[in-house]
Amino acid sequence: MVTFTLDQPPLDNRYAALGPTYGSRVEPTPLQAPRLLHVNRELAAELGFEPADLDSDAFTDIFAGNRALPGGAPFAALYAGHQFGSFVPQLGDGRAILLGQLRDRESRSWDLQLKGSGQTPYSRFADGRAVIRSSVREYLAGEALHHLGIPTTRALSLIVADDRVRRETIERAAVICRVAPSLVRFGSFEVFYYRNQPQHLAPLADYVINEHFGELSGTPDRYARWLAEVVRRTAQLMAQWQAVGFCHGVMNTDNMSVLGLTLDYGPYGFMDAFDAHHVCNHSDEGGRYAYDQQPGIGYWNCSRLLQACLPLLADDENRAVEIAESLLEPYGPIFSAAATASWRAKLGLQDARDSDVELINRYLTLLHQSHNDFTRSFRLLGDVPMADGSAGPLRDEMRDPAAFDAWLPDYRARLRAQGLADDVRRVAMQAVNPKYVLRNHLAQRAIEAAERDNDGSEIERLLTVLRRPFDEQPGFDAYAAEPPPDARHIEVSCSS
């Protein structure tokens, strides 16, 4: 296995090389007595870090922002965005600093970014810091979604310190090192459209295309083909979120990735009791980013990106709008096809029939009306036999057993019609219906240990479980249980 040492990382600074139009050079602000709470050894191995370096003082200092990463050119990116539907003309990395691009042993490029590393020119009077609770949540969330097979940013390290940070109360500071193929977002293009600086769009678009859509480089229609792919990936991402009950919480355009990644974990949540109108962010008083609104918001956000990129599509504005509309039109069918395929798989339906959509919607409706646990209600569905009789442990958990009993005969008839043996179907269903997701109360337990005792052991236990979300894991059943009554109303907000 080829690895590199911290004194000679395979690092360059291609994004910073775009120049000051796209951001600002800025150094991280050191932390007081930083301590490595956890390192993502799985990700570190994928990137090519020398294992012995991960426990060194140099590693902690570098990824706390207290020492320079050799070869890096720290850079805070400029962008704008629509926040809760209203345009904000300048945002940017207010507490995040890009160290550079790392090449792994397979020559893939990865952005390394410190989040919580101090003030930048885009901090807007904020302190540039992150706190332990939000940092633990982002650190865990990236791994949870990654191992569910959902595109996402990840995190390499989680470092805590004694620096005090004022939020609702006084908390302690933390820094994570985000890792992603790219952290360019929809708002990175919006800022130049609204500034009436269309000349700055093409260099940024070409950077993204050359780095991540190499087959399009230099082609005459590369911008339209790239944007069509962004629309496709975004629609599919929304379907993937829906299928595991994930809610983002702050789907502003500055939090949307041009690679179709799950980006910026502020308030988020995996639903426990299913509520189609669930709002995971108590700062979202109007429910703009509720679970059932996410697909439509994805569409709206794509329309804002396409609007920002109109100058790339044609010199004539009317023609550019026509092209943009044609690129956006497939969003709905792409989402619908991806979502329906996911729900079919979750119900164990191997072939497609016209009646499936009604059957799926009836099951979702009964879960919504009875507020049954989302994850468990799909996982246990695999244990329901085709034959009439006992429906297994799922019926015992149904809060409205009569509604379930009314739906069950049609479901069993559908299973019998496809002729797949129960044990074969069960294996297929368990491969798409996770037993373990990152429930809020599990994350809270890890946060409290970190805040109280600088203890990362619960983070490690959680990651052990979340890295095999579809497997039966003896000894970890408590991590698959519904939250206890006193932990069912944990709230998260934009404060971090």
pLDDT tens, per residue, the chain with 496 residues? 679 999 999 999 999 999 999 999 999 999 999 999 999 999 999 999 999 999 999 999 999 999 999 999 999 999 999 999 999 998 999 999 999 999 998 889 999 999 999 999 999 989 999 999 999 999 999 999 999 999 999 999 999 999 999 998 999 999 999 999 999 999 999 999 999 999 999 999 999 999 999 999 999 999 999 999 999 999 999 999 999 999 999 999 999 999 999 999 989 999 999 999 999 998 999 999 999 999 999 999 999 999 999 999 999 999 999 999 999 999 999 999 999 999 999 999 999 999 999 999 999 999 999 999 999 999 999 999 999 988 989 999 999 999 999 999 999 999 999 999 999 999 999 999 999 999 999 999 999 999 999 999 999 999 999 999 999 999 999 999 999 987 776 767 665 5
- Whether residue 471 lies inside any domain: the answer is no
Please check if 255 is assigned to a binding site.
Answer: yes
Angle 232-238-244 from CA coordinates, rounded to 5°: 135
- Whether residue 386 lies inside any domain: the answer is yes
What is the spatial distance between Cα 31 and Cα 337, in angstroms, rounded to a whole number?
A: 48
Q: Which of 434, 419, 469, 236 is closest to 340 using CA atoms?
A: 236
The residue range of the domain holding 397 is 349-419
- The pLDDT value recorded for residue 105 is 83
- Whether residue 22 lies inside any domain: the answer is yes
Please check if 103 is assigned to a binding site.
Answer: no
Place of tokens 């820094």: 175
Please check if 115 is assigned to a binding site.
Answer: yes
- The pLDDT value recorded for residue 234 is 98
Please check if 218 is assigned to a binding site.
Answer: no
Please check if 72 is assigned to a binding site.
Answer: no
Q: Taking each helix axis as running N to C, give the angle between helix 132-147 and helix 440-453, from 0 to 180 degrees, rounded to the nearest 10.
A: 140
Q: Which of 293, 289, 229 is closest to 260 using CA atoms?
A: 229
Please check if 127 is assigned to a binding site.
Answer: yes
- Whether residue 232 lies inside any domain: the answer is no
The one catalytic residue in 93, 163, 254, 284 is 254
- Whether residue 200 lies inside any domain: the answer is no
What is the spatial distance between Cα 142 and Cα 157, in angstroms, rounded to a whole number?
A: 12
- The pLDDT value recorded for residue 106 is 86
What is the spatial distance between Cα 46 and Cα 39, in angstroms, rounded to a whole number?
A: 13
Place of tokens 């009439």: 388
Q: Which of 181, 190, 167 is closest to 283 using CA atoms?
A: 167
Q: Is the torsion defined by CA of 248, 108, 305, 335 positive or negative? A: negative
What is the spatial distance between Cα 378 and Cα 383, in angstroms, rounded to a whole number?
A: 10
Report the SS3 class of residue 283: coil
Please check if 435 is assigned to a binding site.
Answer: no
Place of tokens 């991960």: 54
How does 405-441 read in b/e, with b if 16+ C-beta sit within 10 Å?
eeebeebbebbeeeebeeeebbeebbebbbbbbbbbb
Q: Which of 39, 284, 316 is closest to 176 using CA atoms?
A: 39
Residue 254 catalytic? yes
Domain boundary among 419, 448, 472: 419
Does the global pTM surpass 0.85?
A: yes
Amino acid at 263: L
Own/partner pairs for 113-116, CB < 8 Å, 24+ apart?
A: 113/177, 113/178, 113/179, 113/180, 113/183, 114/28, 114/63, 114/65, 114/175, 114/176, 114/177, 114/178, 115/175, 115/176, 115/177, 115/178, 116/173, 116/174, 116/175, 116/176
* CB-based contact 122:93 (threshold 8 Å): yes
On the CB side of 34, CA atoms within 13 Å amount to: 27
- Specify which residues 492 forms β-bridges with: 281
What is the spatial distance between Cα 163 and Cα 170, in angstroms, rounded to a whole number?
A: 10
- Specify which residues 174 forms β-bridges with: 130, 160
- Whether residue 326 lies inside any domain: the answer is no
How does 122-148 read in b/e, with b if 16+ C-beta sit within 10 Å?
bbeeebbbbbbbbbbbbbbbbbbbbbb
- Whether residue 166 lies inside any domain: the answer is yes
Q: Which of 132, 124, 44 is closest to 91 using CA atoms?
A: 124
Domain boundary among 380, 397, 419: 419
- The pLDDT value recorded for residue 291 is 97
Please check if 23 is assigned to a binding site.
Answer: no
To the nearest 10°, report the CA torsion of 314, 315, 318, 319.
-30
Return the structure tokens found at 448: 């409290």
Pairing of strands 170-180, 246-247: unpaired
Looking at the structure of the chain, the number of domains it has is 2
Please check if 95 is assigned to a binding site.
Answer: yes
- The pLDDT value recorded for residue 300 is 98
Give the DSSP H/E element, type plus range, for residue 418.
Answer: helix 401-418
- Whether residue 99 lies inside any domain: the answer is yes
Please check if 149 is assigned to a binding site.
Answer: no
* CB-based contact 226:208 (threshold 8 Å): yes
Domain boundary among 164, 183, 202: 183
